[in-house]
């Protein structure tokens, strides 16, 4: 079993990087496209959040770039990141590149009440860049993933449905 660690590690890292290598090339087109897709998806699933961002001139790139670049690693405790990434690994269709979009949308829905209670640009950005997830555990991540799956099954097979 121990002898396979190197091969297993290589396979896991290769699977992770296969779907997200565009995130880390010149001009980061993968991240740019994912942030735009998140904006389009949120505009369809929660017009209130989307309108709130527009009202206070919060651009999705200002907070979601980090979410896409670090795959929510800076937003969640390590135990939650491991659980989240484990789910990404077993997703049949590119969890890191595709399912992550729905997780980010679910993340916004999770914090809907707090987002809508913020009444200025600075407050919104501070919230979105420092979400209070320090005490999150398996239950919260499980609920987040359940919401992400719901969104995926509503929109993934109809990609034009969330494009304006």
Query: What are the sequence ranges of the domains in the chain?
Result: 2-162
Cα 94 → chain centroid:
13
pTM: 0.85
> The tokens 């484990």 sit on which residue?
86
Q: What pLDDT, on the 0 to 100 scale, is given for residue 4?
A: 79
Q: What class has domain 2-162?
A: mainly alpha
pLDDT by position in tens, the chain (length 164) = 566 788 877 877 776 676 676 666 666 777 888 999 999 999 999 999 999 999 999 999 999 999 998 889 999 999 999 999 889 888 876 667 789 999 999 999 999 999 999 999 999 999 999 999 999 999 999 999 999 999 999 987 776 665 55
Q: Are 83 and 76 in contact (CB under 8 A)?
A: no
Q: What pLDDT, on the 0 to 100 scale, is given for residue 49?
A: 98
Distance CA 102, CA 84 (A): 12
Q: What pLDDT, on the 0 to 100 scale, is given for residue 160?
A: 66
> The tokens 């001139």 sit on which residue?
57
Q: Are 38 and 60 in contact (CB under 8 A)?
A: yes
User: Which pair of structure tokens corresponds to residue 101?
Assistant: 């979009």
Give me the torsion for CA of 22, 23, 28, 32, rounded to 10°. 110
* Whole-Å CA distances, 99 to 14, 23, 27, 104, 155: 17, 15, 22, 9, 11
């Amino acid at each position: 079993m121990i002898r396979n660690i190197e091969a297993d590690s290589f396979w896991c890292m290769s699977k992770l990087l296969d779907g997200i290598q565009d995130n880390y090339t010149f001009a980061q087109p993968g991240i740019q496209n994912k942030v735009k897709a998140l904006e389009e998806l949120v505009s369809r699933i929660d017009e209130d959040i989307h309108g709130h961002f527009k009202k206070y001139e919060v651009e999705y790139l200002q907070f979601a770039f980090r979410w896409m670049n670090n795959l929510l690693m800076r937003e969640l405790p390590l135990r939650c990141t491991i659980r989240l990434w484990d789910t990404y690994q077993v997703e049949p269709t590119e969890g890191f590149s595709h399912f992550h979009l729905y997780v980010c949308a679910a993340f916004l829905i999770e914090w809907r009440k707090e987002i809508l209670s913020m009444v200025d640009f600075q407050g919104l950005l501070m919230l979105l860049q420092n979400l209070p997830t320090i005490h999150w555990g398996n239950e919260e991540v499980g609920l987040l993933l359940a919401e992400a799956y719901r969104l995926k099954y509503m929109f993934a097979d109809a990609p034009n449905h969330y494009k304006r």
